[in-house]
Amino acid sequence: MSLSRMMKWITGGCEAFLGIPIVGGSFILSTTWGALLAMFILHVITLLITQKEKGSIAGSVIGMVTSFVGVIPIIGMIMHIATAVVLLIDAGKNES
């Protein structure tokens, strides 16, 4: 498994967790939005690795946007779920 694929699984799983109603929001608030900063950094790292491996960067870009939008309660939850779906589908694709 490539490093970019592994990072997409990790970031996708984290985004899925943050998208869980009440639980994800409570976690974000309990870290004083530090979780969103950590996710932004993870998405940047994933983007750089994926670019180097010439893979799809869409999930990481959406994830970086989500890290900023995540402060808005309902919109943030929807964005976390959408980002998780994009990243996990991309991670699950067969490598060519």
The pTM of the full predicted model, rounded to 2 decimals, is 0.93
Q: How many domains does the chain have?
A: 1
Range of the domain at 63: 3-92
Q: Residue 94 pLDDT > 90, yes or no?
A: no
Q: Residue 57 pLDDT > 60, yes or no?
A: yes
Question: In whole angstroms, what is the distance from residue 74 CA to residue 64 CA?
Answer: 17
pLDDT digits (tens, 9 = 90+) for 23-53: 999 999 999 999 999 999 999 999 999 999 9
Go through 69-86 and write b for each residue having 16 or more CB atoms within 10 A of its CB, e for each that does not. Answer: bbeeeeebbebbbbbbbb
What pLDDT does 82 receive?
Answer: 97
| Residue percentage of the chain with pLDDT more than 90 | 93
The confidence band for 15, taking pLDDT boundaries of 50, 70 and 90, is very high
What are the C-alpha distances in Å from 9 to residues 29, 58, 73, 77, 78? 24, 14, 24, 19, 19
